[in-house]
Structure 1
Amino acid sequence: MTASPVTPQKSRSSLRAWFGDDRLRRLFANAGILLGGKTVNAIAGLAGLAIAARALGVEQFGVLVLIHTFTQTIGEIAKFQSWQAVLRYGTPALNEGRIGDFQRLLRFTAYLDGWSAVAGTVLSVALAWMLGASLGWPADLMPAALVYVTSVLFMVQATPTGILRLIDRFDILSVQSTLGAIIRMLGGGIAWVMGGGIVAFLVAWYVATAIAGLYLIIKGWSELRKRGLLDGYRWRGDGKPMSHGFDGVWGFVWSTNFSSTLELAYTHIGTLAVGWMLGPREAALFRIARQLGEALAKPAKLLIPAIYPELSRMIEARQFAEMRSLIQRSALLAGAGAMLALVICWFIGEIGLRLIVGEEFVPAWPVMMWLVAAAVVGIWSFPLEPVMVSAGEAHKALIVRIWTTALYIPVLLACIHWFDLLGAGWARMFSAILVLVAFLIPVVRWFRQRMAEERQKA
């Protein structure tokens, strides 16, 4: 028996169905909105780094990078990923018209943000005082560095982020993501023209962080007010515990916070480890390599924040078959785009380094290629962790993060010790493959269980 031939008409019909899914279009549309901002953000970010690198030189730029990366690290450690709680618990509350419960949830996550911002600021100052010398910060720069690390206070804006994602105002998030980069670029340009040193750049970068953080907070709450979702809102509450009606919310926020903290091993910790073991010069090279490499792979990564609202809606509606189809197609499209970015990096990466930041940063090209390749692997797997978190399996995602990080960090340190800067790139590639496999297995198992349950109900 011969198979029926696939006619061109059927192929075109299949393609229309494949790309015609409203959810897939909305996912890429929201990611596209973010891409508009991130494109400007990437250009402004690279320009800001290039200005700082050319103005300060590789050693001083390395010190600036280490201070900034240290501050970002503490901010991420202190920050609860309460935006995920806003999506996870806020979606059903709004769908069912439970405005009081929704407001209680916002009160809960806003208090988490506030307390973690204060705790993070105190922690950043204390740790900077103790560890600054070990990271190569000059003694005469310590007062300015101690002031700079208080910018952690403006990095904790998870609740407004969740609000804007929940109501599909990705355009505001797009503007906010560019605001800090543009101010950092302009402020750095002024510092360079006026002959300012590293302290002038610290001032410019601090102002950029503060303005971008305050903008997001103001816009998030004003959007709720426009929709009447803050009518009757009281900070003192309604007499019920703030977590009342949200079963497992404490475990959820602790799990997502710890999971995001572990994720730092794949971002900021790499720069700090290189700086600690090899010095500010190598930290500067690694930071530039990571910035340029991630800029090429950034468009596909924007699907991660855009997919969370879609997954929350589909899980609420128990549309598991459609959900599986969505993540398969989105991963395929994102992976194809990431592979293109890798090819581009191979051909123009070294030239780009020379043109953007100067000849002394060209040695960053080999490690940049490995970092881009690792990012490509990560993009292929981008929907896996969001599926687990959105499905209430955040604790399992946390377990995956714990053991993969526990394997990655010693590999990172050993590779840096044995192979210097290039070893950091090899370690990152190892971790990307490890995380892909580690998340794929439980996600496949989860879908099989859900599909079996639906078949039994039918």
Structure 2
Amino acid sequence: MNKGVAMPGTSEKSVLRSRVKSVLHLLTGNLGNALVMIGSIAFATRALGPEAFGVLALTLAVGRVCERVVRFESWQPLVRYAATEEGASDPERMSRLYLFGLLLDAVGAVVAALLTVLAGFILTSFFDFPPEMVPLVAIYAIAIALNLRGMSSAVLRMAGMFRTMAYIVFLAGLLRLLLAAIFYWMGSGLMTFVWVWTICQVVDALIYNFIGFRQLARQGTPSPFRARMGNLHKDFPGFLGFAFTTNASSALRTITHEADTLIVGALTDSTEAAGFYHIAKRMAKVAMSSGEMIQMVVYPDLARMWAGKITESFRRTVVGVQGLLAVILGGVILVTIVVGKPIIALAFGSAFTPAYAILVAQLFAVFLIMHSAPSRSALLAMNRPQYALGASACSTAVFLAIAINTIPAYGAIGASFAHIGFGAVNAIMLDVAMWRSLRRASASQVAPEAS
């Protein structure tokens, strides 16, 4: 059995101890990655200035929006289906399952790259976006086309290799920091920094896949490249539906998590405002990434627990993760309020201090969004992706309604106000659905025992 993989028979304390160690590894790697990310952005802001850095932020936002809208997060259905396939001990079937995910990754990446180029042309031709974005977006589309990480990510998650995942991200971030420093000292311009971000994302995806395929070989699963392709849809019924539903949820979250930078640029008519917002959001994402990494640790276990009908452990895991996230994010908010402004001025320059207020508001939104993350994982483990999609749709509608009214009135911080509304609605809807499902599951398990 792979180290770090919790099975239904494992004691709750040993599972918790193992997961705490995984979380600490991930948080350590995430902290290191956060520091190098901030360092990379610091070199970029000082090399480019507020206006040109705003163009860089908009360029990256175009690529990320198109990628999130089209790309299948194949690791989510793969983790759920692999959890149910583990007991069968059929390496050939498991290889075909991973092939299914890899095909989704490839199709999504190619379509996303083409959409990125098209979106760059449309935004600069028909909207008031800087025309120099067209070649920059085309360069970044290379990274989108080669970002095939979903299948490998699922392999590493199922194997419990969370420490490895954390340090892969750190290595790519370190490369970006080194390149940003070199080109800062060389006095390079905007296009060079777009190439830096592009190259580092490609390296990150290549490392992910190298380690993912090596892990498959270690556990005796044949390479998906040699697996039989025919009848995948029939052999894994429901997989595509699950993938499309989670992709739709991801596309809706894209409007709030990535397209928000473009919305700020459009409604404020200022590349500088987009740059300020990008800095605040990237710093807030440090806390958000910590929550996402904790979520990725527990999601495979939740899938196994639900499949094994271990309802009480399932409930305790969700509650424990939500409590841990509340402590972490509460501490981050307090520290940011006290020292956030001087840190921004020191790292990025005094011209970027308007990002401070945006950052504080954004962290309150992250607190709410991360509270709902374990509930969302629980609903996916329960095979209720449709409800998660519905919650995302309602929350996104609230976000847009607030953003359209607050960004023109208050500037970039209006997008953070919209995120707070999004987070509150999403948390309430997901928590209510999860607890109802748990009560029904507990009642159904008690009924046969009583009879």
Q: 1:305 to 1:284 in 2, by over 3 A?
A: same
* SS of residue in 2 equivalent to 1:244: helix
Q: Which of structures 1 and 2 has the bigger CA Rg? A: 1
Contact preservation (8 Å) 1:48, 1:185: yes
1:54 aligns with 2:46: yes
* SS of residue in 1 equivalent to 2:47: helix
Which residue number corresponds to residue 179 of structure 2?
A: 187
Quote the Cα distance in structure 2 between the aligned partners of 1:418 and 1:235.
57
Which residue number corresponds to residue 7 of structure 1?
A: none
* Higher mean displacement: 278-287 or 326-335: 326-335
Contact preservation (8 Å) 2:63, 2:137: no
Quote the Cα distance in structure 1 between the aligned partners of 2:330 and 2:126.
38
Which residue number corresponds to residue 269 of structure 1?
A: 259
Aligned AA (1:243) = H
Which residue number corresponds to residue 304 of structure 2?
A: 313
Quote the Cα distance in structure 1 between the aligned partners of 2:385 and 2:130.
41
Report matched runs for 1:229-248 at 5 Å: 229-230=221-222, 235=226, 237=228, 240-248=230-238
**For each residue in 1:380-428, what CA deviation from the matched residue of structure 2 results, as whole angstroms up to 9, or x when unmatched?**
2221000001111111111111122122212212211222222112111
Report matched runs for 1:38-437 at 5 Å: 38-132=30-124, 137-140=129-132, 142-230=134-222, 235=226, 237=228, 240-278=230-268, 279-296=270-287, 298-437=289-428
Q: 1:93 to 1:64 in 2, by over 3 A?
A: same
Deviation at 1:180, TM superposition (A): 2.4
Deviation at 1:114, TM superposition (A): 1.1
Quote the Cα distance in structure 1 between the aligned partners of 2:260 and 2:333.
21
Contact preservation (8 Å) 2:139, 2:198: no
Query: What is the count of residue pairs matched by the alignment?
Result: 438
* Higher mean displacement: 320-329 or 418-427: 418-427
Report matched runs for 1:443-454 at 5 Å: 443-454=434-445
Quote the Cα distance in structure 1 between the aligned partners of 2:211 and 2:245.
27
Q: 1:163 to 1:132 in 2, by over 3 A?
A: farther
Contact preservation (8 Å) 1:301, 1:382: yes
Quote the Cα distance in structure 2 between the aligned partners of 1:49 and 1:321.
44
Deviation at 1:443, TM superposition (A): 0.6
Quote the Cα distance in structure 2 between the aligned partners of 1:152 and 1:214.
13
Quote the Cα distance in structure 2 between the aligned partners of 1:190 and 1:111.
37
Aligned AA (1:311) = L
Q: 1:144 to 1:380 in 2, by over 3 A?
A: closer
- TM-score of the pair, normalised by structure 2: 0.93
**For each residue in 1:154-176, what CA deviation from the matched residue of structure 2 results, as whole angstroms up to 9, or x when unmatched?**
22311110111011111221122
* SS of residue in 2 equivalent to 1:30: helix
Quote the Cα distance in structure 2 between the aligned partners of 1:145 and 1:101.
39
Contact preservation (8 Å) 1:286, 1:364: yes
Q: 1:139 to 1:427 in 2, by over 3 A?
A: closer
Quote the Cα distance in structure 2 between the aligned partners of 1:296 and 1:384.
18
Quote the Cα distance in structure 1 between the aligned partners of 2:333 and 2:227.
52
Contact preservation (8 Å) 2:84, 2:307: yes
After superposition, the CA RMSD in angstroms is: 1.8
1:24 aligns with 2:27: no
Contact preservation (8 Å) 2:248, 2:389: yes
Deviation at 1:201, TM superposition (A): 0.7
**For each residue in 1:10-33, what CA deviation from the matched residue of structure 2 results, as whole angstroms up to 9, or x when unmatched?**
xxxxxxxxx972232233222222
Aligned AA (1:153) = A
**For each residue in 1:84-127, what CA deviation from the matched residue of structure 2 results, as whole angstroms up to 9, or x when unmatched?**
11111112212221222211111111111111111111111112
* Higher mean displacement: 418-427 or 81-90: 418-427
Quote the Cα distance in structure 1 between the aligned partners of 2:125 and 2:36.
31
Deviation at 1:365, TM superposition (A): 1.1
Aligned AA (2:240) = W
Quote the Cα distance in structure 1 between the aligned partners of 2:136 and 2:374.
41
Runs in 1 of length 4+ with deviation above 6 angstroms? none
Quote the Cα distance in structure 1 between the aligned partners of 2:166 and 2:266.
34
Structure 1 unaligned spans of 5+: 1-18
Quote the Cα distance in structure 2 between the aligned partners of 1:196 and 1:106.
42
Quote the Cα distance in structure 2 between the aligned partners of 1:141 and 1:119.
20
Deviation at 1:140, TM superposition (A): 4.5
Structure 2 unaligned spans of 5+: 1-10
Contact preservation (8 Å) 1:134, 1:276: no
* SS of residue in 2 equivalent to 1:381: helix
Quote the Cα distance in structure 2 between the aligned partners of 1:391 and 1:132.
43
* SS of residue in 2 equivalent to 1:455: helix
Deviation at 1:378, TM superposition (A): 2.1
Quote the Cα distance in structure 1 between the aligned partners of 2:255 and 2:337.
25
Aligned AA (1:396) = Y
Aligned AA (2:157) = R
Contact preservation (8 Å) 2:12, 2:313: no
